[in-house]
């Protein structure tokens, strides 16, 4: 309940207001009563005066009317020292205080409690990224700093970052963690500049124990933000605090970033997440199905896993649809049912050969990693498959040359043009290339 209220208030208030007045509060529900403890008289008076009405409204709404009164006191609920789980469970109410405290800290950190390591299915495609994340969650500020996770959309980067943050928060009651999308970082910085609060802004981000910045490719072209982030980055590294970054491509290839930032992103450990192979897709489907409270027959899981190839987010979408459909019609989820229920999704999927699909199919075909295909590496064993993939992208999709270049690790459109010409002439002179091309074409359009 308290977590809902806090999340709502967080959206309504400025972060300075929220951090000063709401964050220090501890909450406990006692029947119809919400007891709020403030650390001192000053905070108590202020919050009672300014936020009591709104809090009551939110509590009533989120408890379906059960909570109807708020009590403010100065003080602190007794806190268990350390993660002594057994004891906390015995003193039931104490445990819930600790939980609500964690919930508050989680909200302040922008962390989603559902994204944790327990719900992250391991597979070959994400093994390294997962292992590195676990290592960092256990030992933040240690050897791997920064951790840089890169990979395509919907493959689990954000999930892993939240998981890291959640572990750090839960294992250290005094740790300050902040997760932020890079666009939010930019927006917050602009707001701080407008309100003459840039010093506060600096202080806020330079005093955290773990800073998790998602999708850093969005820093491209935003020079002032890069400058600010550069200093924050250095300050945190110097004082041994953990930084985790994510992007859709390798650090050196994030275009529109200052060179010094790009090179620094790669100082620690850089790990890729690749699209899942079939077995991992199937395992993820089973895991998500269990979370939704249904059991998925093996043939259905394989069917969906094989047909939805683009990314895990879409895999999840298809599953949700299947479950909802079964729920409405009261029918069991069989293979026939799945084919029927997912018909439009699959037709749409088939009609449009996506760039990701091409990359993945070509990578599979040559037993490479998708991330290598998108990297700057120029070895012959990568360059040829990469050119083939670009040529296929030109032939099979409506994407422009610059778009294709962008999707292939931010390459220039002339590179794509060169690739298509090269493959065209090779297909005439080299029988192996011609055969590969035809095979791939068939696999992609079947």
How crowded is residue 190: how many other Cβ atoms within 10 Å of its Cβ?
Answer: 14
115 CB-near residues (< 8 Å, 6+ apart): 158, 159, 160, 161, 162, 163, 166
Report the residue number, 313 or 327, with the smaller CB distance to ligand ADP.
313
Answer yes or no whether residue 284 interacts with ligand ADP by CB under 6 A: yes
Answer yes or no whether residue 187 interacts with ligand ADP by CB under 6 A: no
Answer yes or no whether residue 386 interacts with ligand ADP by CB under 6 A: no
User: With 0-12 CB in 10 A as exposed, 13-18 as middle and 19+ as buried, what is 243?
Assistant: buried
CA-wise closest residue to 210 among 269, 113, 142: 142
Output the smallest distance, CB 443 to ligand ADP, in A.
Answer: 24
Whole-number Å distance between alpha carbons of 151 and 374? 10
Query: Which of the choices Mg ion, ligand ADP, none does residue 360 contact, using the CB cut-off of 5 to 8 A by kind?
Result: none
Answer yes or no whether residue 393 interacts with ligand ADP by CB under 6 A: no
Whole-number Å distance between alpha carbons of 104 and 4? 10
CA gyration radius, the chain? 25
Q: What is the DSSP string of 362-399?
A: HHHHTT--HHHHHSS---HHHHHHHHHHHHHHHHHS--
Residue nearest to ligand ADP (CB): 156
Report the residue number, 26 or 349, with the smaller CB distance to ligand ADP.
349
Report the residue number, 250 or 303, with the smaller CB distance to Mg ion.
250
Of 60-68, 114-122, 249-257, 333-341, which segment contacts ligand ADP by CB under 6 A?
Answer: 114-122
21 CB-near residues (< 8 Å, 6+ apart): 13, 43, 46, 47, 50, 51
Angle between helices 380-396 and 413-429 (to 10 degrees): 100
Query: Which of the choices ligand ADP, Mg ion, none does residue 312 contact, using the CB cut-off of 5 to 8 A by kind?
Result: ligand ADP
Angle subtended at Cα 405 by Cα 344 and Cα 378, rounded to the nearest 5 degrees:
120
Report the residue number, 220 or 441, with the smaller CB distance to Mg ion.
220
Residue nearest to Mg ion (CB): 158
Answer yes or no whether residue 250 interacts with ligand ADP by CB under 6 A: no
Options 80, 183, 258, 316; binder of ligand ADP; rule CB under 6 A: 316
Residues belonging to the chain: 446
Output the smallest distance, CB 8 to Mg ion, in A.
Answer: 23
Query: Which of the choices ligand ADP, Mg ion, none does residue 284 contact, using the CB cut-off of 5 to 8 A by kind?
Result: ligand ADP
Pair of tokens at residue 186: 């930019």
Answer yes or no whether residue 156 interacts with ligand ADP by CB under 6 A: yes
Is 141 labeled as ligand-binding?
A: no
What does the binding site for Mg ion look like in residue numbers (CB under 5 A)?
Answer: 157-158
Annotated binding site for ATP: 154, 156-158
Residues that bind ligand ADP (CB under 6 A): 115, 119-121, 126, 151, 153-159, 284, 287, 312-313, 316
């Amino acid at each position: 309940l308290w977590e809902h209220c806090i999340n709502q208030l967080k959206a309504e208030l400025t972060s300075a207001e929220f951090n000063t007045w709401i964050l220090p509060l501890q909450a406990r529900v006692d029947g119809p009563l919400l007891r709020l403890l403030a650390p001192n008289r000053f905070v108590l008076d202020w919050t009672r005066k300014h936020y009591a009405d709104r809090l009551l409204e939110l509590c009533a709404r989120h408890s379906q009317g059960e909570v109807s009164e708020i009590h403010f006191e100065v003080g602190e609920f007794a806190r268990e020292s350390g993660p002594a789980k057994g004891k906390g469970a015995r003193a039931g109410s104490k445990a819930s205080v600790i939980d609500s405290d964690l919930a508050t800290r989680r909200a302040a950190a922008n962390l989603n409690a559902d994204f944790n390591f327990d719900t992250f299915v391991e597979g070959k495609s994400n093994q390294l990224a997962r292992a590195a994340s676990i290592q960092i969650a256990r030992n933040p500020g240690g050897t791997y700093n920064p951790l840089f996770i890169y990979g395509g959309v919907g493959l689990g980067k954000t999930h892993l970052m939240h998981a890291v943050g959640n572990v750090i928060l839960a294992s250290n009651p005094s740790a300050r963690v902040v997760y932020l999308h890079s666009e939010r970082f930019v927006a917050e910085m602009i707001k701080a500049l407008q309100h003459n609060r840039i010093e506060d802004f600096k202080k806020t981000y330079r005093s955290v124990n773990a800073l998790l910045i998602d999708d850093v490719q969005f820093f491209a072209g935003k020079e002032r933000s890069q400058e600010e982030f550069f200093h924050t980055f250095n300050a945190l590294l110097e004082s041994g605090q953990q930084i985790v970054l994510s992007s859709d491509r390798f650090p050196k290839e994030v275009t529109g970033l200052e060179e010094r930032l790009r090179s620094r992103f790669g100082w620690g450990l850089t790990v890729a997440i690749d699209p899942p192979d079939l077995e991992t897709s199937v395992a993820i489907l089973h895991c998500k199905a269990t979370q939704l409270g249904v059991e998925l027959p093996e043939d259905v899981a394989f069917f969906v896993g094989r047909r939805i190839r683009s990314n895990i987010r879409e895999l999840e979408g298809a599953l949700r649809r299947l479950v909802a459909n079964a729920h409405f019609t009261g029918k069991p989820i069989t293979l026939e049912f799945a084919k029927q229920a997912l018909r439009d999704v699959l037709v749409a999927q088939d009609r449009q050969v996506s760039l990701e699909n091409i990359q993945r199919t070509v990578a599979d075909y040559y037993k490479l990693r998708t991330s290598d295909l998108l990297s700057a590496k120029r070895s012959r064993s990568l360059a040829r498959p990469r050119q083939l993939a670009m040529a296929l992208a030109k032939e099979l999709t409506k994407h422009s040359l610059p778009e294709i270049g962008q999707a292939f690790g931010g390459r220039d459109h002339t590179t794509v043009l060169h690739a298509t010409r090269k493959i065209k002439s090779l297909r005439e002179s080299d029988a192996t290339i011609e055969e590969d091309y035809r095979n791939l074409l068939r696999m992609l359009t079947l």
